Chains A and B, each alone.
Chain A
Amino acid sequence: MSQKEPAQWWVWVIVALLTFLCVPYFFAGTYEPLVFGIPLWFLTALTAALALTVFTVYVVLYQWRLAETTLGEKEN
């Protein structure tokens, strides 16, 4: 894999978007509607948090390769 860093604009745009979705702006002042007794806003926020988690792992594993080309560190 060629040199890569997490410092790419699209990574942080996605991060910002997902973080924004973790805050339930569209449900301000309420806890309804409920889905199987659980507020929908909670499920939405939790899903966004899960997406942020998965995306961050992806960035760490696939968008970070610097030491091989800069320090000569072998990947294997």
Chain B
Amino acid sequence: MTTPQFAGLGFDALIILSLYLLSNIFIGYFAYRAGDTWAARDYFLGGKSTGALVLFFAMLATKFSGNTFFGLPGQSYRVGLMAVTLIPFTIAISLGFISYAPRLYVLSKKYDYLTPSDFYADRFDSRVLRLWTAVFLIITDIPYLMIQTTAMGHAFVGFTGGRYSFATGVIYIFAGMLIYVLLSGWRGVVWAEVLQGALLWVAIVVAAVVLVYWEGGLATVIQQVVTIAPEKVAVPESHETLTRSYLLLALVFGMGGAMYPQIIQSVYAAQSEKALRRGLAMMIPNYFIVMLAVVLIGLVGIIHLRDLKTIEADQVLALLLGQRAESAYWLAILVFLGAAAAIMSTAAGVLLTLSSMVTHDLYRQFVRPQASEDEIATVGRVFTAVILIIVTLLSLHPITTLWQLTVIKFEFLMQLYLPMLLGLYWPRFSRIAAITGLATGTLSLLVLVLSGWNHVGIFDAGVAAFVLNGLTSVAVALIKTPSEEEQRRIHERFFSLYTTIPQAVPLSRGEGKPLSLGPTAN
């Protein structure tokens, strides 16, 4: 290993981390006592009453994850100044979100959606699409969870200078998450996220500011990088590279990143549209601030840590601080905790979302429709434990960078963006068009990925599959007119909502029945 020998954090850091974890568990338990955590809606969405400020911190804590402290600084280390494009990439996620959130919010309140698949199943009146989208989202969320457990492994190795092993970190988070999530549910997780969101924000911003300050300022950092690694300061020569790996990658982020099930569920959890808007408006400038911090951290890494190997680069922040652990112990501890907060909050959110999809979309719909709320919540907890075990085992030997995992994940997720968008805005977009489009997109992406073609000309595999998805969806929608019955249903149940205040007409059972788990939230 080429990592230089240096002192890092010690056993006391582990004690502090454990105390921090216990405080989260305590908050979570307190929240559990405060609400009816066993009710699925409460367990998964906090009773659909989350206000703007809490929503903001929840978004902060969910969106900024292990990737913020490891994967992204690692990517910044690898590419240099071009990592500034991380800012528009992450803003693109918000843009993808606002392209669907306004209408989806209205529908979710009206029809009491719990999971992303509720929308697809309802809009297209299709159990096939429920199953497909649920399985799809579950499978793509697993790498996201792996990113968190892997990041914890990197945190332990990097911050402690190798004193604790990668496996120790992975197993530590496994144990912590198990207790934390099982006890708290969404309400507990969200309450704790206020603390975690604040902590991770402070940690990453302070880390960047201090590291840059120690170098003598932003201009000095960049000047040094120009001297040491000019290839990391120059813009790539090829317009094709710029288009494929930067401009179009913004599309992948925007559409794929906006389809994270936990992001979709934040629409459902909001107490009002105003809360959702305000929470998001607070979040967006922080994308700018945090991504800029991440870029600067990578640049400082280029100056001080030469020749980090590809996967090792994911530890750049931890290594930089571990190097200075003796002189700036407090900073190393703060960032270690901040990284842990980011990792745990995201992992908790992902686990809850996965659990809600498995129980609501798969178990209740296809296995035991008559299951009680208690049974659903129990199945959710069992599943959480099982998925944690699987992901932990998979994470013990990282085979690729966190960035690569992220991109692959987004390429699959963005296939779901199209039926969401067309479903919300195009009345003619029918069930058969959605199914054939999605099938085309998914299969073509699988074929491309498995045969090793990660791009076709200027298009990334995901973008190429997305284009095929789009062409097929539109072609089928135009060629095959939906039946009169389907058209009527789509208009009455969806498109008539966006223009008038709906009258209080009771909906009959069967077609048009509102999805409900029990007493409605309204």
Contacts and interface: CB of A to CB of B under 8 A. Distances in A.
Interface of A: 5-7, 15, 18-20, 22-25, 27-31, 36-39, 41-42, 45-46, 48-50, 52-53, 56-57, 59-61, 64-73, 75
Interface residues of B, number: 55
A53 B87 contact: yes
Given A38-B222, A71-B501, A6 B99 contact: yes
Contacts of B273: 64-68, 71, 73
A71 B247 contact: no
A59 to B, nearest CB: 7
Interface in B244-263: 246-247, 250
A37 B87 CA distance: 22
B222 A42 contact: yes
Given A29-B235, A38-B219, A60-B281, A50 B288 contact: yes
Contacts of B234: 29-31
Contact of A28 (B91, B237, B502): B237
B10 interface: no
B235 A71 contact: no
Contact of B106 (A20, A22, A57, A66): A66
A49 B278 CA distance: 21
B106 A64 contact: no
B92 A49 contact: no
9 contacts: A25-B242, A28-B237, A31-B235, A37-B226, A46-B292, A67-B106, A67-B274, A70-B106, A71-B110
Contact of A29 (B84, B87, B237, B250): B237
B102 interface: yes
A53 B284 contact: yes
Contact of B288 (A41, A49, A64, A73): A49
B233 interface: yes
Contact of B219 (A29, A36, A48, A50): A36
Contacts of B87: 22, 46, 49, 52-53
Per DSSP, chain B at the interface is helix
B398 interface: no
Interface in B468-511: 497-502
B448 interface: no
B88 A49 contact: yes
Contact of A22 (B85, B102, B110, B277): B85
B223 A19 contact: no
Given A36-B219, A57-B285, A67-B272, A41 B235 contact: yes
In this complex, which of A30, A57, A65 has the most chain B Cβ atoms within 10 angstroms of its Cβ? A57
A20 B247 contact: yes
A13 B446 CA distance: 32
Contacts of B233: 31, 39
A7 B226 CA distance: 42
Given A42-B81, A49-B88, A52-B88, A69 B425 contact: no
B410 to A, nearest CB: 16
Contacts of A30: 234-235
A36 B102 CA distance: 44
A19 B253 CA distance: 12
A56 B284 CA distance: 8
A73 B220 CA distance: 52
A3 to B, nearest CB: 8
